[in-house]
Amino acid sequence: MNSAENRLQLGLFGLNLHYGATMADLPGGLKLSWDNVLRLGRKADRMGLEALVPVARWKGYGGFTDYGGVCYDTLCWAAGLGAATEQIRVMSTIHMPTIHPAVAAKQLMTIDHISGGRAGVNVVGGWYRPELEMFGHDMLEHDRRYELGEEWVKILRRLWTEDEEFDFDGEFFTMRKALCKPKPLQNPRPPIMNAGTSGRGQRFAAEYADMVFIIVDGEDHEADRRKVAAYKDMARDDFGSEVAVWTSVTVIPAATNAEAKALERTILEIGDYEAVENMLRTMGIETAVLDGVGTKDLQASWILGGSAAITGDPETVAASLARLSESGIDGTLLIFPEWDAGLDMLETRILPLLEQEGLRLPAKKTAAAHL
């Protein structure tokens, strides 16, 4: 599922959200409209980036931004971008309890045909209780969500790859004479990604996903290297699978380090701390991976996008991305608080430095490259 072209693959995260993935109302932030999404998606496509990955939300976290409350559906979003781009992979993010796998299989297959074989799915177990209550679902205990997820992904894979009707008798899903036609264009199927971070979540991702996510430290690269190696070893040794390890980072670039630091301070000053407190409180209750809820550093991290932050001039950003690659990271999703300015800096100043380091090829040489 990985392109052999670029040692460090790159994508964009959160282009279906008002404000993007940053909990602040910046003048240069993403104001959600299809024109804006289309412009940025096409720019990423032209630059040779590998993936567009959305965030699935139905309710926001309150605060003055109601962060996450204003967003596009990820399947429709991916279909639209798949028709409007040429080479970039368009992912859909699906909370598995909210959509039947037979419906998801058909919709994702259709996106694969619309895009010419560039669809993918990011599967999520679901943890935000107010959203699940919209669908009339009980909030499953943490590990039980992955038991449901195992059935869901098994059905999805079979619908995509098996030509004959089949029955499925599980705890969560029962199907008779299940079938999906036509099949996706990709062989054997579109890639599956998952960001399980708990011990149970990591084992689910290692067994059922092609692309797994880790949260990087960003400073302790040796710790990141060990984390990547352990994940790949678990997938290989326990499940006989090869996984690509991805992460996400918030990139705050500027012409100088001082200007970039000043922008970071501005974001933190105007951030929606009510929304981030609401989100962290729910995450701390409903997940098994979050410690230190409400701490200043954790709040700041989520205001900036919920990822490690790379702040600095183009040389600093490129060097930090190169260190992630050295840690064994196969791909990185990028979040820009100011999307147009950030992508312009990426295209003109940062990508050329990554090309010089041998981490990426010029875009014209990767036109046929997919994840």
Average pLDDT, the chain: 92
Q: Helix count (H) and strand count (E) of the chain?
A: 13, 11
H-helix or E-strand containing 75? helix 74-84
Question: Which pLDDT does position 293 carry in this prediction?
Answer: 43
Could you please report the per-residue DSSP string of 209-271? -SEEE----SS-HHHHHHHHHHHHHHHHHHH----EEEEEEEEEE-SSHHHHHHHHHHHHHHB
Q: Produce one character per residue of 78-101: b if its CB has 16 or more CB atoms within 10 Å, e if not.
A: bbbbbebbebbbbbbbbbbbbeeb
The whole-angstrom separation of Cα 333 and Cα 321 is 11
- CB count within 10 Å of CB 133 equals 12
**What's the predicted TM-score (pTM) here?**
0.92
Read off the pLDDT of residues 350-367 as tens digits, 9 standing for 90 and up.
999 999 999 999 986 544
Read off the pLDDT of residues 193-209 as tens digits, 9 standing for 90 and up.
999 888 999 999 999 99
Return all residues near 13 (Cβ < 8 A) that are at least 6 apart: 21, 53, 55, 248, 305, 333, 334, 335
CA angle 355, 356, 358 (to 5 degrees): 65
Domain ranges in the chain are 9-357
Residue type, 177: K
Indicate whether 50 pLDDT > 60: yes
Question: Which pLDDT does position 141 carry in this prediction?
Answer: 86
Read off the pLDDT of residues 292-340 as tens digits, 9 standing for 90 and up.
444 778 889 899 998 899 999 999 999 999 999 999 999 999 999 999 9
Write down the CATH number for the domain with range 9-357: 3.20.20.30
Give me the mean pLDDT over the 73-84 stretch: 98
The whole-angstrom separation of Cα 83 and Cα 89 is 11
Per cent of the chain over pLDDT 90 is 78
pLDDT band at 284 (very low <50, low <70, confident <90, very high): low
Q: How far is CA 44 from CA 13, 37, 47, 319, 339, in A?
A: 11, 11, 5, 21, 11
- CB count within 10 Å of CB 301 equals 18
